[in-house]
Structure 1
Amino acid sequence: MGTPKSQEGSEIVRIRIFGLAAALTGTLIVVVGGTIAAPHAWTQPAGEKSVAEAGDFYLPPPSLPDGRGTIVRAEPAQVAMGMVPAAATRLMYVSSDTHDAPTAVVGTYLQPNVQWTGPGERPLVAYAGGTKGQGDQCAPSKLMSQVVQVQPPLDIIFEYDLVAISSLLSRGIAVVVTDYHGLGTPDVHDYLNRKAQAHAVLDSARAALQLPGTGLNPGTPVILYGYSQGGMASAGAAELQSSYAPEVNVRGAYVGGPVVDDEYFIGYNDGRADIAPAFAWILNGIAADYPETRPVLDAELNDIGKAILGEAQGKCAVPSGLAQQHRLTSEWTTSGEPLTAVIDRSPALKSAFAEQRIGTLTPAVPVLAASATNDEGAPFVPVREMAAGWCGSGVPVQLESNAEIPPVSGLVGTHVMAFFPSLAASQQWLTDRLAGMPAPSNCAALP
């Protein structure tokens, strides 16, 4: 019997994505089957059902324990790694949503099987991943075991962050990767939410430092690290760390290709089919987090706009659907205005979007910011303004502005290509911070 066309098409897409991943990374990604033994003996909390009894690791218990970063449950995990083996532990931990209420977030801790050869004890990187989408199947902790996630006909995502994560592990650095609030768990993932993302990153570090048998301890040096959505999350975490998690020994933050301002991001990219689904993810998160915005969105979005938001909520990062067919946001609204105009004349929406802006607080640690001047997705101008603002507050900031990559849009555009040149530089930068070297700064060159 022949292969059904729908399955055959999905397999072709899967092969092409594997090929793209290999072309971008220059490495062979191997799926490691079976369960990799965790580096510790985890004791199930009293009264907490085993995963088998609970039925779903991602379903939080009826009540959460006290303490941000407290581990709710953990289990050995499957991972797909390249040349560097690591023992993986999937964990659910307590974090805070955008309104500081307790919430459950899932993440993955990776213990490298090589020694740390840098200065001092083995450090921990709190890794904030790039955009994966809004569907629960897009959670990084799930993608790490699959590498590629395909939903026919063309909803596809591969775990490209494994490139940077493998490089960190090869240096002997422990890594914890957050899924962010609402990915995998029942809540709506509030995509590009400043506080929820920052909390998830900082609390992932708190959780990892509690795992027994890892060699980590409460004083372990921590680096915040992220690109794209992860760059925004790392920036938010750097801004909030001194007030939200002052006990975490953060030595610095790498902020790569961040989205700095959600509304600016929408206006800058309005009309681009490949980025249009991200606008829907943002609005879905805003509506979930700020109930006062729901009547506004219900009145302002037409049937097309509402259908786009509904479809996008279950999609990963490279979907093909209604958003691509209606790439101009003026097609989403009852008034025929673009989304930015609707936001500007709605006090509820304007206030909610203003809360997502990075650069309003001052990090207490050195920052390496990296952005391509021709970035077609996360625009450079707000990144430069963010860096200049931090400089004005006395933060040692090094802004690496890559002007060599030409403006290219599409699946592998400037934003994606700029991810790779910054890998080596960012990881040398963090090694220098761990060695206690003075942080470089080009603040004098920023107005």
Structure 2
Amino acid sequence: MNPALRRNFLASVLAVLLAISAVFLPVKPARAAVLAGVVLTSATATLPAELAPLANGKRISYVSSNVSGLPITATGLILTPKTNKKNRTVVWGHGTTGLADQCAPSASQAVFWPEARAAIAVLLQRGWTVAAPDYPGLGTPQAHPYLVGASAGRSMIDSVKAARNLDSALSPQYVIDGHSQGGQGALFANELAPSYDGALTLRGVSAIAPVSNADLFAPLIPGTPAQGYLVMALYGLQAVDPTVNPNTLLAAPARQRTGVLQSGCLNEILAAYESLTASELLVGGALPQSVITKLSKYANPAQKAPSAPILLIQGTADEAVPYVITAGPLLTQLSAYNQPVQFVELDGATHDGAVFQSTTLVADWITGRFS
């Protein structure tokens, strides 16, 4: 049998076995760790115009694990530079796209954000293979655990394993570069790596405007144009904690709009909720303390020691992730550990603008980490 056909056949068999085991058999986390990174399907991807001249792309599905350590399927892109290939892998962690399957960047160029294209282009120009995971639940049957950092972090690490399963020449050394939700996931991956990445070697993490300290800013969101993020976060919590019920937390006007969570992606969700008052968004106009505590548990990085150096970047005019949160408590929290933290403030940079303005800075820093 042709090697490629044989690989696809075995991957298909494994996918069926995973599906069966999820329903009928108790799968131990240790077994899931062994499967992590196994490529289930691989197909040629159509890349955005900015990236097509620079790389060959594969859209893959691969084995990852949920926050309980059980095996799940995740999807993403593996982009291999056409020239100057250096056999190192950089993970790109994208910012928020939405909750529904159509919001997976690997499957829809509509949510392959311009800032992501700019960042990935520079990484490819440096000769690095780029693994760009969608995060669990985007493009796969399970719900997307939005802002559950350990979920995104696991899929990031496992995307590197998948890239190496596709290309045995790739070094075990890798770096993670993430923005917003992806920056948060990158910081969580930095904490997870020693016990989760196996034979891989994490050399560093770049986090641009990462979500952090949700317990500090989430209570401030009701009544602001950012309310769609909070609605998504409630459903993200529900994906890992069924005791969180958005239907009992959201007020009637907000509940009437929840259809947009499946029919649209980020921009549609933000537009649907931006005009509501706090009392139209939440019952009583505020988040219960119990929910704030759960957000803190699942969404806040820096609760454990990082394992590799950190580049932390934040724009002062960020409209989505408050500058004062990153430059204040997050920087203090990360600096309390032994890994070096380099903080770069971008004066006047917006949330997405910080990515555009830092592409070369980040690539130079990664070059130093791989040296």
Q: If the TM-score is normalised by the length of the shorter chain, which range does it land in? A: 0.7 to 0.9
Match of 1:142 in 2: 107
In structure 1, which of residues 32, 41, 44 is the aligned counterpart of residue 8 of structure 2? 44
Q: Is the 8 A contact 2:314 2:326 kept in 1?
A: yes
Give the Cα–Cα distance (whole angstroms) in 2 for the partners of residues 192 and 42 of structure 1.
37
Unaligned residue ranges in structure 2 (runs of 5+) = 23-31
Structure 1 residues 325 and 298: CA distance shift in structure 2, 3 A: same
Match of 1:245 in 2: 197
Amino acid at match of 1:44: N
Q: Once superposed, what is the RMSD of the aligned Cα atoms?
A: 2.5
Q: Is the 8 A contact 1:114 1:171 kept in 2?
A: no
Amino acid at match of 2:330: M
Is 1:377 the counterpart of 2:320? The answer is yes
In structure 2, which of residues 220, 224, 229 is the aligned counterpart of residue 278 of structure 1? 229
Give the Cα–Cα distance (whole angstroms) in 1 for the partners of residues 219 and 295 of structure 2.
16
In structure 2, which of residues 280, 286, 297 is the aligned counterpart of residue 338 of structure 1? 286
Match of 1:444 in 2: none
Give the Cα–Cα distance (whole angstroms) in 1 for the partners of residues 227 and 294 of structure 2.
22
Structure 1 residues 284 and 415: CA distance shift in structure 2, 3 A: same
Structure 1 residues 268 and 403: CA distance shift in structure 2, 3 A: farther
Match of 1:255 in 2: 207
Match of 2:300 in 1: 357
Match of 2:27 in 1: none
Give the Cα–Cα distance (whole angstroms) in 2 for the partners of residues 420 and 280 of structure 1.
28
Give the Cα–Cα distance (whole angstroms) in 1 for the partners of residues 295 and 243 of structure 2.
9
Relative to its length, the structure with more helix (as a share) is: 2
Q: Deviations over 1:349-384 (max 9, x none)?
A: 623542321111111111100012332211123323
Q: SS of the residue aligned with 2:273? A: helix
Match of 2:28 in 1: none
Give the Cα–Cα distance (whole angstroms) in 2 for the partners of residues 349 and 386 of structure 1.
17
Match of 2:25 in 1: none
Q: SS of the residue aligned with 2:92? A: strand
Output the TM-score relative to the length of structure 2. 0.87
Match of 1:20 in 2: none
Match of 1:309 in 2: 258
Greater C-alpha Rg = 1
In structure 1, which of residues 161, 167, 177 is the aligned counterpart of residue 122 of structure 2? 167
Is 1:324 the counterpart of 2:289? The answer is no
Match of 2:55 in 1: 86
Q: Deviations over 1:53-100 (max 9, x none)?
A: x9xxxxx84447752222222222221232633111111111122222
Give the Cα–Cα distance (whole angstroms) in 2 for the partners of residues 300 and 365 of structure 1.
38
Output the TM-score relative to the length of structure 1. 0.73
Identity among equivalent pairs (%): 26
**What's the offset of the Cα at 1:268?**
3.9
In structure 1, which of residues 387, 405, 424 is the aligned counterpart of residue 360 of structure 2? 424
In structure 2, which of residues 135, 153, 156 is the aligned counterpart of residue 201 of structure 1? 156
Give the Cα–Cα distance (whole angstroms) in 1 for the partners of residues 294 and 224 of structure 2.
25
Q: Is the 8 A contact 2:119 2:355 kept in 1?
A: no
Is 1:387 the counterpart of 2:331? The answer is yes
Amino acid at match of 1:88: G
Structure 1 residues 391 and 50: CA distance shift in structure 2, 3 A: closer
Q: Deviations over 1:103-159 (max 9, x none)?
A: 11001101110114xxxx52100111111111211101112xxx336xxxxxxx745
Structure 1 residues 424 and 158: CA distance shift in structure 2, 3 A: closer
Structure 1 residues 45 and 188: CA distance shift in structure 2, 3 A: same
Match of 1:215 in 2: 169
Amino acid at match of 2:37: G
Q: Is the 8 A contact 1:134 1:314 kept in 2?
A: no
In structure 2, which of residues 69, 80, 98 is the aligned counterpart of residue 111 of structure 1? 80
Match of 1:101 in 2: 70
Match of 1:292 in 2: 243
Deviating 4+ runs (over 6 angstroms) = none
**What's the offset of the Cα at 1:267?**
2.9
Give the Cα–Cα distance (whole angstroms) in 2 for the partners of residues 419 and 101 of structure 1.
33
